[in-house]
Structure formats: structure tokens, C-alpha cells
Amino acid sequence: MNLRTRLAIAGGSVVAGALVLVSVVLYPAVNANLRNQMDSALIAAADQAPNVAAAIKAKFRELNGQPDFPTVPLGIGNTQLQIVPEPVQIGPSTQFVDITARDVAVSDGTAGAYFRDAAYNGVVYRVYTAQLPNAPGTLVRTAIPESDPAPTLRELAWLLAGSTVAAGLLAALASRLAARRVLRPVHQLTETVELIRTTGDLSIPIPADSRDEIGRLGSAFAAMTAALDESVGAQRRLVADASHELRTPLTSLTVNLELLSENPADAQAPLLAAEALGQAGELTTLVNDLVDLARYGQAPFHTEDVRLDLVAERVAARAARRAPQIEFELACAPTLVHGDPDALERAVANLVDNAVKWSPPGGRVRVSVKAGTLEVADAGPGIPDSDLEFVFDRFYRSPAARAHPGSGLGLAIVRQVAEAHGGTAEAVPCQSGALLRLILPTCIEHAEP
């Protein structure tokens, strides 16, 4: 069952349910109103009983010379009128419904007038019993068959039932027609998504013209496919770049190993073995960088409050031991950030190692940390302005850098770590050397003055 049909059924059901509820309230209300009208008519007939009795007595006196009022019920329209003269006695009546003890009490004034339902000759009557006005001891009873309002109630029941069914069907039809128009954008969105799934082309535009919830859904799908397209493209570029970077050391390693296998006693064997080990080390570094790049970009990591200044000092101390020919200058103010301590230390280490690699012997590397910003400056040849925006790209190596060892992933990892922590990494133009900057959000409430 499609969505349009479900909406049509829901719309029809809601309208039909509402009309059923109205019918449940309306039918008893009309029934009670008709019963009240019947009771009012009986009371009015009883109040007119003296006038009717006087007129009938006069007529009987004129015709028969007898002023007695007949005790049989008289039909006045659909109302039966009976006057029972005193003494009123309890017992069955062959003329109308039986006389009860309560009727006797009403006739002598010890009980008030009342209504009851009684059957006579197979007909159920609504009976009103009262004392005849200005005639103590005399009883007047008026009655109307309860079947009189039945046709009205029956017609009302059929009208309510028919209206409920017809309105429910019309509402279902209207809901389906409206749903077809309202859900047209959903249909278009579904067709577009199915086309993307079939073709695998994530660049197909997704319609998101309206400003309602469906438009927001389309915008969300468009943003999702754009992000997915960018992610797939990045993965493809990463695979292509990694394949290119791996091809050269693998080829060289294979050649060296083949030469060693052909002539293990060659005088060049130690040199070939050393080169093979170096190339294997480059491959290990490249693979580790690829793993770190993927980990910092996708996988969740452990976070805690980290003193960025202490991390920088620790990294600089290790670098100073590895490169004693380089002078280090530290200017680190207490700075607290929230993040993965291992990832942050790797990013800082990559920045410092890059500065060491480009600094000449006797050169100076300056490391500063303040207010969530870490800067590493070196005394090397610097970065051309045209390369500033590319230095953090994966596998990017300027022509001058290709003579130096490295995978081209160190600074890419720095940017990946920065973005994973809500920060940025940038290369700052300067007159001499290179200046690389890592900016991270700080924990101000915990930062030391």
C-alpha cells in the first residue's frame, strides 16, 4: 500500500470518525428533545382538560340531556385524553391503562403529577397523570403513542449513517487527490535517489525547491550526496596518490632485491641491502601515515583536556635530541585544549619535524604556543606564495621538496587533526623561512592565566 492510499484512508477515517462522534452525540440529543416535546404536549393537553370537559358536557347535555363526561379516552389529534371521576379506585381498566396506587394518590392530592410508559392493546404510550385542575379527587390522564417520534428518529439515523459514509468516501477521495499533489516532490525526490543508486552518479542534482519539510528533506539529501561525493572523490584521489607514491619505492626495492638474489657475493651487496632497508623504512613510514590519516579523519578517538604548551615542549625536546645541530627557541604560554592527546602530539611533531627538515645546520626553529594557537617557524628557504594553499594537501610536494625524504602526508595529517578538533591549519606568508600555524579551540574556563 503506497503512501497516497494510506493518506486517503487516514483522511477518510478521520472524517468518518468525527461524524460518528457527532452522530453519537446528536441522536440521543434529538431523541431527548422529541421526548421533552412529547411531555410538554401531554402537560398542555392536561391543562386544557377542564375546558375540553366543559365543552363535551355541554354537548352531551344538549344531545342526551345528561351532563356526565364519558370516562373512555378521547382522541384529540394524536393525544388520548381520559378523565377519571371520583372515586378513583385501583385496578385494571378495560378502557385504558390500569389505575395504580400512585394514580389514586395523585387524584386526592397526596402525590404530584408524573410520567410513565405503559402498554395498552399492544401499543406503548407515554402517559401523563395529574389531578384535574379545580376538581380534587378527579384524575386526568393524557397519553401519546411512543411510536409517534420513531419515524423522525429513524430518518435521522439513516441521514446520519448515510452522511457519515458519504463524507468519509469524499474525504478519502479528496485526501488522495491532495496527497498526489502534496507528495509530488517526494515522488520526484524518490526517482532522483533511485537514479543515483542505479547510476552511481552522486553529482545528479536533487530537487529542493520548496521551503517546507519536503524541501528541507531534499536539501538534506543534496547535502548528504554532496558530502558523499566529496568523500568518494577524496578516497579515489587518496588511492591514486598512494598508488603513485608506493610504486617508486616498491620498484626500487624490487630491483635491489633482484640484484642481491642474482649475485649475493657482489661487492655492492651491502650497499644494495642498505638501500633496500631504507626503502622499506620509507614504505613503513608511508603506510603508517596513511593509517593515521584515515584514523584522524573517520574513526572516533579518545578526548580529554590537554596542555598544548606542554605537548609542544615535549616534542621540541625530542627533536632537539635527534637534531643537535638545530637551535630551538620556545615561547609557550599555558594553553588548555580538549582533544585526543596522541593525535595532537602527532600533529605538533609533524610541524616540528617539517621545520627541522628544512632548517640548515645551525638554523633556528621557533615554537610558540598562546591562546590555542601553535606556530612553528624555521630558517629554511621558505614556501613560495603560490604553494602556500597546497602545503597541507595530501601527497603534495613542491619540486624543491622531492629531493628530501618524506611521504607528503605529514602536513596533511596536521590539517586532518586540526579539522577533527574543530580547528584549522595554515601556512603564513613571511619574508624568510616558513611559518606554519595550528589553531585549536581552547578551554577558557580551565586555562591558566
Strand order in the sheet with 79-84: 74-76, 79-84, 139-145, 123-131, 114-120
- Please give the backbone phi and psi of residue 378, each rounded to the nearest 5 degrees, phi first: -125, 175
3-state SS assignment for residue 311 = helix
Q: Give pLDDT, residue 316.
A: 92
Q: Are 382 and 430 in contact (CB under 8 A)?
A: yes
Contacts of residue 258, defined as CB under 8 A and 6 or more positions apart, other chains included, come to none
Neighbours of 266 (CB within 10 A): 12
- Residue whose C-alpha cell is 543508486: 197
Q: Cα(58)–Cα(68) distance, rounded to whole angstroms?
A: 9
Q: Cα(398)–Cα(408) distance, rounded to whole angstroms?
A: 9
3-state SS assignment for residue 66 = coil
How far is CA 405 from each of CA 108, 322, 358, rounded to the nearest angstrom?
A: 127, 16, 11
**pLDDT tens digits for the chain (449 residues)?**
666 677 677 777 777 778 788 777 877 887 777 878 888 888 888 888 777 777 766 665 655 555 555 667 777 777 888 888 878 778 777 678 888 888 888 888 888 889 988 888 888 888 898 888 877 888 888 888 887 677 777 777 888 888 888 877 887 777 777 766 666 777 777 778 888 778 877 777 777 666 777 777 777 877 887 777 777 676 666 666 666 566 666 777 677 677 666 666 666 667 766 766 666 766 666 666 666 655 555 555 678 899 999 999 999 999 999 888 999 999 999 999 998 888 898 889 889 988 998 888 888 999 999 988 999 999 888 888 888 888 888 766 655 555 455 556 778 888 888 988 889 999 988 888 889 999 999 875 444 43
Q: Give pLDDT, residue 265.
A: 65
- Please give the backbone phi and psi of residue 362, each rounded to the nearest 5 degrees, phi first: 85, 0
Q: Are 365 and 359 in contact (CB under 8 A)?
A: yes
Q: What is the DSSP string of 7-63?
A: HHHHHHHHHHHHHHHHHHHHHHHHHHHHHHHHHHHHHHHHHTHHHHHHHHHHHHHHH
Q: Quick check: bond before 300 cis, omega within 30?
A: no
Neighbours of 289 (CB within 10 A): 23
Query: Which residue type does 405 have?
Result: P
In degrees, rounded to 5, the angle at the alpha carbon of residue 111 between the alpha carbons of residues 108 and 112 is: 110
Q: Residues 24-27: contacts with CB within 8 Å, 24+ apart?
A: 26/156, 26/160, 27/153, 27/156, 27/157, 27/160
H or E element in which residue 84 lies: strand 79-84
C-alpha cell at 387: 604553494
Q: Are 392 and 439 in contact (CB under 8 A)?
A: no
Neighbours of 29 (CB within 10 A): 10
C-alpha cell at 86: 371520583
H or E element in which residue 412 lies: helix 410-420
Q: Where are the alpha helices (DSSP H) in 263-406?
A: 269-297, 308-322, 341-358
Neighbours of 127 (CB within 10 A): 22
3-state SS assignment for residue 147 = coil
Q: Give pLDDT, residue 448.
A: 43
How far is CA 296 from each of CA 180, 239, 252, 286, rounded to the nearest angstrom?
A: 47, 17, 30, 15
Q: Give pLDDT, residue 384.
A: 83
